[in-house]
Amino acid sequence: GAVVSQHPSRVICKSGTSVKIECRSLDFQATTMFWYRQFPKQSLMLMATSNEGSKATYEQGVEKDKFLINHASLTLSTLTVTSAHPEDSSFYICSAGLGVLGQGIYGYTFGSGTRLTVV
């Protein structure tokens, strides 16, 4: 149980275009979703936290107007990289918190990641 499906697994886009990444919780309701970015040979960096029906909370240094997060339902969260540039090329990973924020999150399950290449 507790599977998160992330699509696409790979995407190549032209500089200046936008790319949407989807994460769906398949057999549970994800109240809280986390989005990470990982550059080659580095660890995962938390970008933002989103709660269903609320605006996302972004980590320091992450541009909220560039990385648009939508979490309109309990089973779907999306990350849109707007006006992508080559420096946005990275591995993007979503994670769903199991539980309810503020009441206790008892686990985290991750998507399989999206490799974004901006040319």
Partner 1 sequence: DAKTTQPPSMDCAEGRAANLPCNHSTISGNEYVYWYRQIHSQGPQYIIHGLKNNETNEMASLIITEDRKSSTLILPHATLRDTAVYYCIVLNSGGSNYKLTFGKGTLLTVNP
CB nearer to partner 1: give 72 or 101: 101
Report the C-alpha gap between 71 and 87 in whole angstroms.
25
Segment contacting partner 1 by CB under 8 A, of 13-21, 42-50, 60-68, 76-84: 42-50
96 binding partner 1? (CB under 8 A): no
Residue 47 near residue 37, CB atoms below 8 Å:
yes
Q: Which stretch binds partner 1 (CB under 8 A): 11-19, 45-53, 63-71, 81-89?
A: 45-53
Helix (H, G, I), strand (E, B) or coil at 39: coil
Per CB under 8 A, the segment of 63-71, 72-80, 81-89, 107-115 that binds partner 1 is 107-115
Q: Are 104 and 88 in contact (CB under 8 A)?
A: no
- Beta-bridged to residue 16, according to DSSP, are none
Which 3-state string (H, E, C) describes 19-34? EEEEEEECCCCCCEEE
Q: How far is the CB of 99 from partner 1 (least distance, A)?
A: 7
Positions touching partner 1 (CB under 8 A) are 4, 6, 32, 34, 36, 43-46, 49, 91, 93, 95, 97, 99, 101, 103-113, 115
